[in-house]
Amino acid sequence: MSDKSLRKTAISSIFWTFAQQFSSQIIAFFISIVMARILLPEEFGLIGMIMVFINLGQSLKDGGLTQSLIRTDKPDQDDYSTVFHFNLAGSILIYLLIFTGAPFIADFYKQESLVDIIRVYGLTIIISGFTSIQLTRLTKEMDFKTQMIISVPSLVISGLVGIFLAYRGLGVWSLVWSGIIQAVVNSAQLWWYGKWSPSFTFSKEKFKEHFSFGYKMTLTSILNTVFTNIYQILIGRFFIASQVGFYTRASSVRQLPVTNLSKALDKVTYPLFASIQNDDVRLKRAYKEIMQMVIFIVAPVLIFLCSLGEPLFRFLFTEKWLPAVPYFQVLCIAGILFPVHSYNLNILKVKGRSDLFLKLEIIKKILIIVTIFVSFKFGIMGLVWGQVFTSVASLFINTYYSGKFISYTTWDQLKDIFPIIAFATIVGVLIYIIDQQLQEIGIFDFYRLIIGGTFGILIFSGLSWFFTRSVIDSFKRIILRK
């Protein structure tokens, strides 16, 4: 693929991925605002307690084989059918394990109501097992337009049902049935638009080929799932359910700009990087430009949100959610480097080094355990600040190893992103000072958000124009070139 066609494919894919990711997340976010105003924090907390087991089941069901399909040059029908049958069988087995283990999960959290909740919500694992290959094929073909067409109706239908059930007084079950309906509608559309059906074949050779790469990715995914949700586990076990609700609300709002932006680009960058995996010069150039652009967006957005956390939560979710604000502000700081972690690890994946990928994840998980052990005695805020420490430490671990493959050292990467983060921090401090003055004179939350956000965008844009012009030039070059 030439540089010109690569760029054109990347631009188209990024556009439709962003359209899908952000249209979906904006819809989901507005739905969650309505439901947060109806439901209690402890009801969201109950869902937060079980999500680690649901997410773990989703990670286990395909054994990482779909990741192997994406990096395979020309997978055939036998490849897809073999992985499909394995995924489906795996999803059924995992659901049976969750169904059987539900009473033990409820006992762990001391919440008897979780037994029925997790048994019903766990059905989403089987439902998604029917469509993992259809989704994989769309991703490999970089057909993110179709994925957007599928995801939006699923969210709208399930969200409206969830809101209706919440108004009818179903409480936490409105969240459960909303999740089930979303999975069903999404799967039905993937079968319709995916235009693929499995053959009744299972190739042992194909399975071994994909499993040799995929099982390491699965172990990595399991580690990531457990440790991403470990804070909900600890808070749910040692604190009341409402605190889990506050933490998960803070985390979900933080995820809207950072995690969803990173996931949107991750869906593009993995197949994109895979297509040029043997050309280190082009791989480094593509990685550098994408990383700088993402930090250019993520850093100011998260820092500005951190500065305006209190009026933001009161305006969106009402006073009852204000205890989530301190968690949200610290999580925003921890999330700034998330895209850098993600793209560095993509380098290892496209280079076929799933073994090193797994080793690095184990090292970072040991670091998280040590940090949790030290910070737990300081309560929930100690756990949250520990995430900032582990994010910074993980940056040096990820960039050191992946940087070797494309001659892009940790120091070089830091030099490329530090000025952006520094300017965003300066502007964020100014926004906070101005917002405190607006609060003292009694300005409404909505106007505080408008004033603070507008001021931040103008000042950061001005500083960037003078001091980080190369990043803006990269934006213009990638967007305008055909």
248 located within any domain? no
Q: Averaged over 197-222, what is the pLDDT?
A: 78
Residue 482 pLDDT level (bands cut at 50, 70, 90): very low
With bands split at pLDDT 50, 70 and 90, how would you rate the model's confidence at 481?
very low
303 and 212 in one domain? Answer: no
Q: Tokens 């804070």 correspond to what residue? A: 231
Same domain, yes or no: 232 and 264 = no
**Among 89, 92, 115, 112, residue whose Cα is nearest residue 102:** 115
Say yes or no: 210 and 341 in one domain.
no
The answer on 283 and 166 residing in a single domain is no
The verdict on residue 445 lying in a domain is yes
Alpha helices in 110-171 (DSSP H): 114-121, 123-129, 132-140, 144-167
What is the maximum alpha-carbon separation in the chain?
Answer: 71
Buried b (16+ CB within 10 A) or exposed e, 238-272: eeebbbbbbbbbbbbbbbbbbbbbbbbbbbbbbbb
- Domain shared by 321 and 219, yes or no: no
Q: Are residues 268 and 175 in the same domain?
A: no
Range scoring the smallest mean pLDDT among 103-112, 153-162, 390-399: 390-399
The predicted-structure confidence for 267-280, as pLDDT tens digits, reads as follows 566 556 655 556 66
Domain-embedded: residue 362: yes
Task: Give the count of domains, the chain.
Answer: 2
Is residue 34 predicted with pLDDT exceeding 50? Answer: yes
* pLDDT greater than 50 at residue 479: no
Residue range 183-207: mean pLDDT, rounded = 85
What's the pLDDT at 80?
Answer: 82
Q: Is 304 in the same domain as 345?
A: yes
Q: Give Cα separations from 175 to 43, 47, 285 (angstroms).
A: 9, 8, 43
Q: What are phi and psi of 122, to 5 degrees?
A: -65, -20
Which structural domain range is residue 320 located in? 257-482
> Which of these, 332, 344, 190, 167, lies nearest to 254 by C-alpha position?
332
**What is the helix (H) or strand (E) element at residue 142, kind and residue range?**
none
8-17, 18-27, 214-223, 381-390: the lowest-pLDDT one:
8-17
**Domain-embedded: residue 252:** no
Q: Report how far apart the first and last C-alpha atoms of the chain are (Å, whole number).
A: 15
In the chain, pLDDT over 90 holds for what percent of residues?
18
Helix spans in 308-337 (H):
309-317, 325-335
pTM: 0.69
| DSSP state letters, 218-266 | HHHHHHHHHHHSHHHHHHHHHS-HHHHHHHHHHHHHHHTTHHHHHHHHH
Do residue 218 and residue 277 come from a single domain? no
Q: Highest-confidence range of 69-83, 218-232, 270-284, 323-337, by mean pLDDT?
A: 323-337
Other C-beta atoms lying within 10 Å of the C-beta of residue 104? 9
Q: Is the domain of 321 the same as that of 470?
A: yes
Question: In whole angstroms, what is the distance from residue 248 CA to residue 244 CA?
Answer: 6
Instruction: Kindly state whether residue 249 falls inside one of the protein's structural domains.
Output: no
Residue with structure tokens 């991925």? 17
Are residues 339 and 278 located together in one domain of the fold? yes
Q: Is residue 433 part of a domain?
A: yes
**Structural domain includes residue 251:** no
**Average pLDDT of the residues in 218-238:** 79
Tokens of 154: 């699923």
**Are 143 and 90 within one domain?**
yes
Query: Is 461 inside any structural domain?
Result: yes
233 and 333 belong to one structural domain: no
